[in-house]
């Protein structure tokens, strides 16, 4: 068994859903949600690798690329407007859902926006998904997306993830009281999202199957 916690979680989840994914004619979708620094990106990569070992091609979409504003502009807006926070304020959830809907309906390509965190430059990449069997959408609010077959929630709050956020080192986010306040607000917004989940990954990366 792998000592990597993300790989262990992926190895626990994929065998429980692989059969229904293989028999389903349409593309399957998975949401992977949780608070900042909880390991969503690393777990998404581990899921892709685990699916690959099972002969299934998976693709990851990041919620961070679907914000209405680029990172620096979004931070500025948060400081100007205390209500500029949450899934239906900051994130283009409709576009994400339309993208998933198109994939489920058999579209051969999808357009994926990319926003560079450091430069704020946005580009759009057209991706061929003819051979993609699973789309994993990772991000704080992805549990709320409509076109999702399996929901995974990482149940570690922003206090649990402090050491990982320090390692990530996005600017001065760990020492910024404003950022910590945002994380506290995000925590309150998504605290109940774990009750939407089919699988919960706890802060020790043990997997709890709910449904």
What does the alpha-carbon distance between residue 132 and residue 114 come to, in Å, rounded to a whole number? 19
The total number of structural domains that make up the chain: 1
pLDDT attached to residue 55 = 97
Q: What tens digit of pLDDT does each residue of 2-17 get? A: 789 999 999 999 999 9
In sequence order, what are the beta bridge partners of 201? 154, 207
22-58 burial: b if 16+ Cβ within 10 Å, else e? eeeeebbbbbbbbbbbbbbbbbbbbbbebbeeeebeb
201 versus 36: the higher-pLDDT residue is 201
Q: Is pLDDT of 209 > 70?
A: yes
Strands in 23-172 per DSSP E? 28-34, 58-62, 109-115, 122-128, 134-138, 150-155
Q: Is pLDDT of 185 > 90?
A: no
In sequence order, what are the beta bridge partners of 123? 114
- Band of residue 173 on the pLDDT scale cut at 50, 70, 90: low
Torsion angle of alpha carbons 176, 179, 204, 10, nearest 10°? -130
Q: Is pLDDT of 163 > 90?
A: no
Q: What tens digit of pLDDT does each residue of 107-142 get? A: 999 999 988 777 778 899 999 999 999 999 999 999
For residue 91, the domain's CATH number is: 3.40.50.300
Q: Which domain holds residue 84?
A: 5-209
Up-side HSE of residue 28: CA atoms within 13 Å toward CB? 21
pTM for the structure as a whole: 0.90
- Indicate if the alpha-carbon torsion angle 73, 76, 80, 86 is positive or negative: positive
């Amino acid at each position: 068994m792998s000592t990597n916690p993300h790989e262990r979680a992926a190895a626990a989840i994929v065998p429980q859903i692989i059969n229904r994914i293989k028999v389903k004619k349409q593309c399957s979708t998975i949401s992977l949600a949780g608070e900042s620094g909880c390991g969503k990106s690393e777990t998404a990569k581990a899921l892709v690798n685990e699916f690959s070992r099972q002969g299934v091609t998976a693709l990851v979409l990041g919620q961070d690329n679907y914000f209405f504003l680029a990172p620096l502009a979004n931070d500025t807006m948060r400081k100007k407007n205390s209500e500029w926070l949450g899934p239906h304020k900051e994130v283009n959830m409709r576009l994400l859902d339309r993208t998933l809907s198109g994939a489920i309906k058999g579209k051969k390509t999808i357009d994926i926006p990319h926003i560079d965190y450091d430069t704020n430059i946005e580009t759009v990449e057209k991706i061929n998904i003819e051979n993609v069997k699973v789309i994993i959408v990772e991000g704080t609010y992805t549990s709320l997306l409509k076109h999702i077959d399996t929901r995974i929630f990482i149940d570690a709050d922003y206090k649990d993830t402090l050491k990982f956020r320090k390692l990530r080192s996005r600017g001065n986010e760990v020492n910024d009281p404003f950022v910590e306040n945002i994380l506290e607000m995000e925590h309150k917004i998504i605290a109940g999202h774990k009750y939407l989940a089919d699988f919960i990954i706890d802060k020790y990366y043990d997997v709890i199957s709910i449904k």
